[in-house]
Amino acid sequence: MPHCEIHTFDQNRHVCPNNICVFHQITFGNGTHPNNSKSWTTILEELGHTQRKIDVLKIDIEGGEYSFFPFL
């Protein structure tokens, strides 16, 4: 993993092991729904990842995956 950058996202607080990942406490959405959510585009922009290739993306958002896929 020394060449990997791992980001985890959840509504609930989580602590990543030191030097393993970066945790972001957010709610995925379109930026306005649900309230205080962030869109996939906004997250990529905030991380400075708009021109980066994502090799692995794991999503588990309790059935919300299907409504999230069009944003990818």
Count of other CB atoms within 10 angstroms of residue 51: 6
Question: Distance of CA 20 to CAs 3, 6, 31, 64, Å?
Answer: 11, 7, 28, 26
**The pLDDT value given to residue 44:** 92
Whole-angstrom CA distances from 72 to 23, 36, 39, 65 are 20, 20, 10, 11
Low-confidence ranges of the chain (pLDDT < 70): 1, 63-64
According to DSSP, residue 7 is labeled E
Q: pTM surpassing 0.85?
A: no
